Amino acid sequence: MPLVDMKDMLHHAYRNRYAVGAFDLVSLDFLEAILRSCEGTDAPVILSLAESHFEHFDFDLMMAATERAARRAEIPVAIHLDHGTSFESAVRAINRGCNGVMVDASHLSFADNVALTRRVTEMAHTCGITVEGELGYVAGVEGEDAEKHPGEVVYTSVQEARSYVEQTGVDCLAVSIGTVHGRMRGRPELDFDRLAQIDASLGIPLVIHGGTGLSEEQYRRLIENGVTKINYYTALSDAAAGAIRAVAARDSGAGYTGLLADARNAIQVEVERMSHLFGSAGQAQGVLASARPWRPVAHLILYDADGLDEAGVEAMMAQGREVLSAIPGVRRVAAGRAVKADVPYHWCWVIEFASEKVIDSYRDHPDHVAFADGLFRPIARERLSIDYELRERCEKRKASPGEGRS
């Protein structure tokens, strides 16, 4: 059960004045290190996958591993799309297993930012998904994550923030108050007055991007003023790279696994340090007690086909797999044929929804209605359809040799 509703997780943090770390992962080393660290400190966590990093890994494969890892974790976890660039990327992320999405239209005009964000929010909320918007612009300064965010910092205005949240319906808002993506240069000046006014005006969880390199005091004041999610990547990347360079410097003959041997531990130590600074350490049980579990639903249909031969049924089902799997909130569409002949129904659909909410939005979705009314129901007059909430047993992670070295 440790996948939980992201909005519930953020509200626990908002009420109890701490921030959840949203750590971007770019490899399995990051995934394992982040979860291991948060299990060690009993911290809730957001596993974050940034669209700008998709060139470094196969998103579908990484999502499968991320979801599996989240489900067997002993701490509450949410899975988030970071800096999604379009409506389509938000749908894809939801259908692959994210239960939070960020749509980043902060480089567009206010009106265009509102229009795109609102469209994503309307779709996502029909699936129970939490949405983060961004207003103002967090530019990059230095380091590998900085180059993805060109241009100058634009501060978030209090008035615009209020109007933006009202018009888009986002659940949490990334604000620009002086942090930058990538590495900080010098000591950053953060506009806490502005942040306090935004918090007072909105009363929703706020998000900081560019969390690397702030002082303990700065993190404390961010959290005091409504920040409940801090995106953190650059320092993890630097810690891993530093560990790799250290091995390379002392052992010129090191191979692939040798070079990477200390990277996971370096990431784990940095995540642990941040969980203490963010105040999320020790909050896992509180979140588990108050957040709704995030569970998929299986939509099962058993049917008999009349008036269609086997090839006709196969063709209809192939089309269904194509059309239905593109509907927001649909995780999987499988169509099957009974193994034995002497059964009451000879064909089935097994459709998996991201959450219970999708039962209604799927039923009413125009693509589903068109397929069901046009192709499916006319040939499947005898049918049975039931939705089931799914639970499964996930084997706990086994400690590996060398774990806990630090």
82 belongs to the catalytic site: yes
C-alpha dihedral sign at 264, 49, 294, 208: positive
Give the contacts of 90 (CB within 8 A, at least 6 positions apart): 81, 84, 101, 103, 120, 123, 124
Residue placing its CB nearer to Zn ion in the complex, 209 or 346: 209
Of 256, 274, 218, 286, the C-alpha closest to 21 is: 274
Residue placing its CB nearer to Zn ion in the complex, 230 or 288: 230
Q: CB of 149: closest distance to Zn ion in angstroms?
A: 7
- Under the rule (CB under 5 A), what is the footprint of Zn ion? 209
Residue placing its CB nearer to Zn ion in the complex, 140 or 279: 140
Length of the chain: 406
Question: Pick the catalytic residue: 24, 29, 82, 262?
Answer: 82
Residue placing its CB nearer to Zn ion in the complex, 12 or 209: 209
Ranked by CB distance to Zn ion, the top (closest) residue is 209
Distance of CA 57 to the CA centre of its chain: 16
C-alpha dihedral sign at 355, 361, 366, 371: positive
Q: CB of 140: closest distance to Zn ion in angstroms?
A: 9
Residue 39's alpha-carbon distances to 74, 91, 245, 358, in angstroms, are 6, 30, 27, 31
Residue placing its CB nearer to Zn ion in the complex, 29 or 145: 145
- Which residue, chain included where needed, has tokens 């660039």? 85
Query: How far apart are the C-alpha atoms of 21 and 41, rounded to whole Å?
Result: 12
CB count in 10 Å sphere of residue 241: 13
User: Any alpha helices (H) in 17-157, and if so which ranges?
Assistant: 28-41, 59-71, 87-96, 110-125
Q: CB of 132: closest distance to Zn ion in angstroms?
A: 10
Q: CB of 206: closest distance to Zn ion in angstroms?
A: 14
Q: CB of 258: closest distance to Zn ion in angstroms?
A: 33
Which residues have a catalytic role annotated?
82
